[in-house]
Amino acid sequence: MSAPRRLPRRKLDGVLLLDKSIGASSNSALQAARRLFNAEKAGHTGTLDPLATGLLPLCFGEATKFSSALLDADKRYVATVRLGITTDTADAEGAVLAERPVSVSREDVIEVLPLFQGQIEQIPPMYSALKRDGKPLYAYAREGVEVERAPRSVHVYQIRLLEWHGEAFVFEVHCSKGTYVRTLAADIGEKLGCGAHLTGLRRVGIGALDVAQAHTIKALEALDAPARDALLLPPDALLAMLSCANLTEHDALKMRHGQAVRWVAPSGERFKVYDHCQQFMGVAQMTPDGWLQPYRLVSTTHVNDALDPV
């Protein structure tokens, strides 16, 4: 008996806010969603560790052109910390390095957390994807080699205690890109004098996107194709941090042909661009000499080749 015939991949444009489950890699979650939507082209907006759960925006079709937009966005996490035990990875997947008695109160944690708010320095963990001489740090760590890492400046906008459980607690943090929450947990443990490691991590927000809008693979599997498609956000959902540029019909036509248009804005600023019908066109960037230059546009099959002379 022959295998069932596989349907061809669909050309599908949009953004899926996925609530990733624990244990799944970002790529395996992406491939599972891609299969469900039978999408021709798919990508994610930055990885989430297998240990972590929560918000993982996925892009299909034209939205993949803007997948990097969220890499620089602020993130929000809910983290669970175990006091008294330090590990070589600063999380529950690592080998135990030391165990110390815990004589910490809820009030101690409330007093210490504000010390990690604002601009802080972090030493990146050895078990990270940062590279030294073209080789990721985790590769050195697996070989038992520790290399010197320069401190990096990150910004913690807010950090607050959510739950207290004696030798464990839960905190919420709103932080800049590049912040290692497991390093934050380990540093908090050292400040409390007993050490600590991260036992759970949930990403609850990226920029203006919130996990409350997200859907699990299991929930998606329970829907039919039209219901799943209805959950997709438009590609410009990734670009909430950018200001809008609404073009005239003539300027929109020029930009669709790769030409810059006159605009008044600071040099270097990027805009999400819409035509006279409020159709999303893509992203454009201001040049020093006052032109709004196409940076990354969605493809269209409805471009009129006739341009008025300028």
User: Active-site residue numbers?
Assistant: 49
Q: What is the DSSP letter of 37?
A: H
224, amino acid identity: D
What is the Cα–Cα distance from 51 to 200, expressed in whole angstroms? Answer: 7
47, amino acid identity: T
Q: What is the DSSP letter of 68?
A: G
Count Cβ atoms below 10 Å from residue 15 Cβ, excluding itself: 25
Dihedral angle of Cα 57, 58, 62, 63, to the nearest 10 degrees: 0
CB 50 within 8 A of CB 165: no
Q: In degrees rounded to 5, what are phi and psi of residue 155?
A: -120, 125
3-state helix, strand, coil in the chain (%, to 5): 25, 35, 40
